[in-house]
């Protein structure tokens, strides 16, 4: 059975939640492999809208096993709130949700450090969500983090907490002039969280190995997007984890030899949140129109997203880094009323044309997009069941994007609900999952 990775091909918010939800009936297991509750995956089922932060989007399908991998950082309070909200809406968690014992905890001092650091940076701030995700990854890399498994041993948890609180209090007090923390005030609620979460905490790497041996099909769900990767993104305006397909291995314990393909997810235009360079960013009324049509506000923070035209330089970079076999294109319908649409084919910097994404931040900031302009289709795309149902100019737009990025599209999303999804003829998805089209009818 095929095991595939679904990864964001831009700056996140591409619609991975919907794509994972659409593909979940084809697999047995869905695994989140990085990020924390700074992610927000929105899934619409009929008239019901779900916003998931730490739990994989596959949880909305009865019987799908969902795993929070070791590469995720977990805020237990936020996770429990998310779990309770799902249970209240009739979602079955017992027997379907598994949390890695090696996943690191977000502690109360992590958001405090996150917010204090951002305030200190001033105009150089990153634009984080303030959820403490970055500081939790800092502790992980510094080998002083506290893991989910530590919650299950009160003595070990207390010892690690006491050491960390002493260190973090000194930083908060002496560097940031910020309030400090008391060990007992943290210990009591976290031990209650341990009681809630203990039935779900396990050695998920071993579990996944057993499931692979048993012939189960796995889907790895990324958070954020390629351009926010800690190593390959627009540093320092990035997240603190490996968002690319390579992170699926380190964040789960599944070896690369057991992964058979990768699907990138991209909008028909581009968005990003927070600070950092954004070559194709729109301005004025055009951006406001796209933001309104696409409801471009963060699922986690509600912040308005910056909107830009489709950037094929970014997509080619994502294809190369992730080894993408195909791309799922979302929000085509947002462009339905655009008379003219721009597509970035290259950058221009100091008289030179650049077709490969530049690693130099100064080059990226100074780069000007080279645009092609195409005519819009000015008619609705939602409701189509095949590419032939799309307006001719929309099909031309898709063909040009495929030509520029070098891989075919597999899915075209024309609306928020599951059924507003077209499966493209000849897609690698049909080779991996022959019944995917039937599942959408």
Positions annotated as catalytic residues are 13, 41
Find the radius of gyration of the CA atoms of the chain.
Answer: 22
Beta bridge partners of 99: 68, 201
Q: Confirm if 12 and 272 have CB atoms less than 8 A apart.
A: yes
Q: Confirm if 349 and 368 have CB atoms less than 8 A apart.
A: yes
DSSP 203-240: -HHHHHHHHHHTT--EEEE--S-GGG-TTTSSTTSS-S
Report how far residue 347's alpha carbon sits from residue 289's, in angstroms, rounded to the nearest whole number: 25
**Whats the size of the chain, residue-wise?**
441
DSSP-derived secondary structure letter, 72? B
DSSP-derived secondary structure letter, 304? B
Report how far residue 240's alpha carbon sits from residue 304's, in angstroms, rounded to the nearest whole number: 22
Which H or E run contains 289? helix 284-294
Report how far residue 396's alpha carbon sits from residue 401's, in angstroms, rounded to the nearest whole number: 9
* Helices and strands per DSSP (H, E), number in the chain: 14, 20
Query: What dihedral do alpha carbons 100, 102, 108, 113 form, nearest 10°?
Result: -120
Beta bridge partners of 98: 67
Residues 6 or more apart whose Cβ sits within 8 Å of residue 124 = none
Report how far residue 67's alpha carbon sits from residue 56's, in angstroms, rounded to the nearest whole number: 7
């Amino acid at each position: 059975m095929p095991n595939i990775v679904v990864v964001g091909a831009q700056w996140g918010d591409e619609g991975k939640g919907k794509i994972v939800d659409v593909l979940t009936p084809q697999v047995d297991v869905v695994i989140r492999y990085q990020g924390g509750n700074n992610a927000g995956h929105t899934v619409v089922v009929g008239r019901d809208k779900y916003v998931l932060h730490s739990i994989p989007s596959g949880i909305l399908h009865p019987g799908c096993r969902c795993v929070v991998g070791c590469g995720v950082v977990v805020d237990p309070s936020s996770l429990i709130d998310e779990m309770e909200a799902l249970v209240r809406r009739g979602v079955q968690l017992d027997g379907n949700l598994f949390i890695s014992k090696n996943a690191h905890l977000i502690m109360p001092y992590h958001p405090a450090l996150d917010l204090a650091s951002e305030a200190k940076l001033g105009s150089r701030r990153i634009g984080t969500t303030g959820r403490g995700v970055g500081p939790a990854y800092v502790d992980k890399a510094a080998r002083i983090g506290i893991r989910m498994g530590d919650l299950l041993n009160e003595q070990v948890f207390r010892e690690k907490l006491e050491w960390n609180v002493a260190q973090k209090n000194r930083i908060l007090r002496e560097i940031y002039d910020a309030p400090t923390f008391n060990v007992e005030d943290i210990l009591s609620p976290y031990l209650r969280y341990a009681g809630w979460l203990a039935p779900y905490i396990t050695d998920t790497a071993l579990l996944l190995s057993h499931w692979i041996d048993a012939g189960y099909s796995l889907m790895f769900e990324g958070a954020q997007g390629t351009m926010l990767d800690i190593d390959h993104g627009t540093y320092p305006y990035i997240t603190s984890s490996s968002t690319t397909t390579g992170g699926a291995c380190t964040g789960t314990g599944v070896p690369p030899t057991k992964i058979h393909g990768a699907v990138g997810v991209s909008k028909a235009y581009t968005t990003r949140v927070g600070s950092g360079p954004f070559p194709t960013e729109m301005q004025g009324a055009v951006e406001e129109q796209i933001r309104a049509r696409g409801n471009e506000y963060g699922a986690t923070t509600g912040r308005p997203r910056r909107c830009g035209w489709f950037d094929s330089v970014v997509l080619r970079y994502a294809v190369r880094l992730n080894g993408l076999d195909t791309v799922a294109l979302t929000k085509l319908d947002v462009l339905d009323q655009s008379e003219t649409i721009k597509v970035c084919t290259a950058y221009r910097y100091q008289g030179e044309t650049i077709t490969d994404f530049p690693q130099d931040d100064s080059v990226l900031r100074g780069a000007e997009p080279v645009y092609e302009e195409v005519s819009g289709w000015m008619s609705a795309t939602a409701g189509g069941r095949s590419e032939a149902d799309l307006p001719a100019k929309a099909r031309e737009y898709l063909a040009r994007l495929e030509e520029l990025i070098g891989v075919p599209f597999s899915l075209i999303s024309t609306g928020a609900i599951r059924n507003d999804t077209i499966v493209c003829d000849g897609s690698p998805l049909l080779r991996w999952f022959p019944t995917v089209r039937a599942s959408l009818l």
